[in-house]
Copies of this chain bind each other. A is one copy, B any other.
Amino acid sequence: MRFERAAVTVNEAFDRFAGQHLPAGAPAALVHQLRALASLHSLPRRQMSRFDVTRDHLVFVASGPTKLVALDAAGSEQIVAFQFGGDCLILPREGLHAYRLVAIRAASLLVFDAEALRPLEQRAPVLNEMIARCTLAALQRTRANLVAMGRRSATERVASFLLSMREIEQVAQADGRTLTLEMTRKEIADCLGLTVETVSRQFSKLRDLGLIATPSRTQVRLSDPVRLAAQAGAFAPAA
């Protein structure tokens, strides 16, 4: 079993952040100031972030897969995007919608108050560039996701969900095909905008077609990724 060391200290997380998102030539003073503004939050599995909802935040996902969800009036979640160790995102303050970050598995987050970064940005364009890059990446993924949500059948959604999970969770077995979904059917259903029953039926259908195998409740083996991709439809893996 693979064992990924979680980032446990602010400094570890920050170093990871700097290595990933700050150019090598970034001025030491900037790095120093940034470090002072960072705070580390550990988010246990399935737990929702609880930051100050009146402020925007820049969040670096130091470790662990997470999802950005929108909460509707009924409190049910609608997935907006997935993030993984190394990704950076803007978590907007509560406006028309309330957004939260939810840990799919235990995650560590490095959090910056967006407002506090502003003075730094003025002096250090690198920071601005970094944020712009992250925002643009998020925009691209969100647009792709939007298209995906538009007109897709349950089968297409489930198939492409499995494929995108495979990319993410290379936490796979040696064969690179078996993945462990750390999510209940309900969570998957919320992600895909379907019901639990439909998700379950799609799993059964794909199993009957011989495209996947489900040795246990949480494990899925992609027996035939190629034909699975065919089921995922035109706009295949929502990257």
Contact = CB atoms under 8 A, between A and B. Distances in A.
Interface of A: 70, 72-74, 78, 80, 90, 92, 95-97, 99, 121-122, 125, 128-129, 131-132, 135-136, 138-140, 142-147, 149-151, 193, 234-236, 239
A56 to B, nearest CB: 9
A114 B90 CA distance: 22
A70 B72 CA distance: 26
Contacts of A92: 140, 143
Contact of A136 (B125, B135, B147, B239): B135
Contacts of A138: 139
A70 B234 CA distance: 12
Contacts of A125: 121-122, 125, 128
What is the copy number of this chain in the assembly? 2
Contact of A143 (B99, B150, B193, B234): B99
9 contacts: A70-B146, A80-B147, A95-B140, A97-B143, A121-B125, A125-B125, A125-B128, A128-B128, A138-B139
